[in-house]
Amino acid sequence: MTILFDAGEVITAMVTPFTKNGDVDYDMASKLASYLLDNGTDSIIVAGTTGESPTLTNEEEVELLSTVKNAVRNRCKVILSAGSNSTKEAIKYAKMAEKEGADAILSVVPYYNKPSQEGIKAHFGAVAESVKLPVILYNIPSRTGVEIKPETVKYLAEKYENIVAIKQSYPDLDKISEMKDICPENFEIYSGDDSLTLPMLSLGAKGVVSVASHIYGEEIKSMIEDFKSGRVQSALNMHMILYPMFKALFMAPNPVPVKAALSKMGIIMDYVRLPLVILNYEQKAELFAIMDSITIE
C-alpha cells in the first residue's frame, strides 16, 4: 500500500539563481522560494534539471536544500532531486537527502545507459529500500533515452510503500490512462509539462511539476482548482491564455527562458552555468513580446 504524501497540486521545479561570476546566489534562492510560496506554489523541488543539477556540486545541493527549507519554514514540502544513472550514486544521494531533512526525493529514470524494465525495477527498488523518504519517480524519455512503462510503475507502487508518485514528462496520454487503471488509488500522477497539465487532469492527474509557475503560479493554481470544481470552461480559458508561454518557456534549453522571464520581472538575474547560455537579443525580444501579450483579468 502506497503511503500518503501530499505535495499539493502545484510543485515548482525551482531554478537555481547564480551570481554574475557563476556562484550560487543563496540569498536570492531564499527570496525566490518565499516568492514562489506566496504565489501559488504548494511544494518546491530543489536541484532538479530546472535547477541546473548537472552543474551543481553535492555541497551546493545540500546548501540549497537548507536555504529553501529555512525560507519556507515548514509551510510547504521541499523535495530534493536525487536521481542518477548509477544506482549506487542514486542511493547515496537519497540517503543524503534524508539526512539533510528533505521531505521527499525526485528520482529520475536512469539516463544514457538505457536499462531494461527489469533494470528499472531493480534500480528504483534499491533506492526505495535505502530510505524511508517518499520517492517520486521521474519519467522523461526525451532526456533519458528510455521510458518507465505503466506496468513497471504499478509493480513499484505496489511493492514499495514509499514510492508515492510519478512526474510524467511524456506526451502519450494513453500512458496516463493505463497508470490510473492499474496503479494503487492513492498513487499520484503529476504532469511534467505545463502544456499537458489540463489534459492530464482530465485523466486523473493530481497536478503539475511546473516551470511556468515561477511566473504564473496563481493562475496555474486557479486553473487546476477550476477544473476540479467543475468549472471546466474557466480552466480551459486559463490554459489557452497561458499556452503561448507554456511553449515559449522551452524555446531554448530549460531553464534559460524562465530565468530570462524572471529577470524581466526583476526577481532574479538570468545567469546560467555553461554549457547553457543566456538567450540572445532576438530570443529575448520574442519571449518578452509573448509575455507582454498575455492579459489575465
Catalytic annotation on 155?
no
Q: Kindly state the cell numbers that stand for 231.
A: 468549472
Catalytic residue, from 138, 155, 170, 271: name it.
138
Instruction: Name residue 163's beta-bridge partners.
Output: 135
Catalytic annotation on 138?
yes
Cis-peptide, bond into residue 115, ω within 30° of zero: no
CA dihedral defined by 91, 94, 99, 105, rounded to 10 degrees? -170
Distance CA 286, CA 169 (A): 25
Contact (CB, 8 A) for 224 and 8: no
Three-state secondary-structure class, residue 128: helix
Distance CA 214, CA 150 (A): 30
Distance CA 256, CA 70 (A): 26
Catalytic residue, from 69, 77, 121, 167: name it.
167
User: Catalytic residue positions?
Assistant: 138, 167
